Structure 1
Amino acid sequence: MILASTSPVGLLLGTAAALAYAVPAVAARAVGGVTARRVLLLAWVLHGLLLGWTLLGQHPRFGFAPALSITVWLVLTAYVVESQLYPQLRARWALAGFGTLAIALAMLFPGARLPETSSPLLPLHWALGISAYGLFAAAVAHGWLMTRAEAQMRHATRVVEGVPLLTLERLMFRFVSAGFVLLTLTMLAGMFFGEQLYGSAYTGWRWDHKRVFTLLSWIAFATLLVGRSQFGWRGRRAVRVLYIGAALLLLGYAGSRFVLEVMLGRGA
Structure 2
Amino acid sequence: MILSPGASVASLLPLAATSVVALLAYLLAGLGRQADWRGGALVIGWVAHAFAIVVHGVGVGEPAPGARFGFAPALSVTLWLVLAVYAIESRFVPIAGVRRTLALLGAGAVSLALLFPGELRAHGGSPWAPLHWVLGIASYGLFGAALLHAALLRRAEQRLRGKPVAGEALPAPDALPLLRLETLTFRFVGAGFAVLSATLLLGWWFADPWRWDHKAVFSVLAWAVFAALLAGRRAFGWRGHLATRWLYVGALLLLLAYVGSRFVIEVLLLRGTTQ
TM-score after normalising by structure 2: 0.87
Matches within 5 A, 1:19-168: 19-27=24-32, 30-32=33-35, 34-57=36-59, 58-155=65-162, 159-160=170-171, 162-168=175-181
How many residues are treated as equivalent by the alignment?
Answer: 254
The answer to which structure has the higher helix fraction is 1
1:186 alignment counterpart? 199
Contact in 2 for aligned 1:153/1:159 (Cα 8 Å) = no
2:240 alignment counterpart? 235
Residue 88 of structure 1: CA displacement? 4.2
Residue 86 of structure 1: CA displacement? 1.3
Residue 190 of structure 1: CA displacement? 1.1
Note if 1:212 corresponds to 2:217.
yes
Whichever residue aligns with residue 171 of structure 1, its letter is L
Q: Residue by residue, what CA displacement relative to the aligned partner does 1:168-211 show, whole Å, maximum 9, x if unpaired?
A: 1111111100110110111111112213xxxxxxxx22222111
* Unmatched runs of 5 consecutive residues or more in structure 1: 196-203
Greater CA drift, 147-156 or 228-237: 147-156
* Unmatched runs of 5 consecutive residues or more in structure 2: 1-6, 60-64
Separation in structure 2 between the aligned mates of residue 15 and residue 207 of structure 1, nearest angstrom: 39
Note if 1:169 corresponds to 2:182.
yes
2:4 alignment counterpart? none
Separation in structure 1 between the aligned mates of residue 56 and residue 259 of structure 2, nearest angstrom: 20
1:201 alignment counterpart? none
TM-score after normalising by structure 1: 0.89
2:3 alignment counterpart? none
Greater CA drift, 62-71 or 208-217: 208-217
Note if 1:246 corresponds to 2:259.
no
Separation in structure 2 between the aligned mates of residue 241 and residue 76 of structure 1, nearest angstrom: 23
Residue 24 of structure 1: CA displacement? 2.3
Residue 7 of structure 1: CA displacement? 3.9
Greater CA drift, 114-123 or 4-13: 4-13
Whichever residue aligns with residue 249 of structure 1, its letter is L
Give the SS at the match of 1:113.
strand
Q: CA RMSD in A?
A: 1.8
Give the SS at the match of 1:50.
helix
Taking a change above 3 Å as real, the CA distance of residues 88 and 250 of structure 1, as seen in their structure-2 partners, is closer
Give the SS at the match of 1:177.
helix
2:231 alignment counterpart? 226
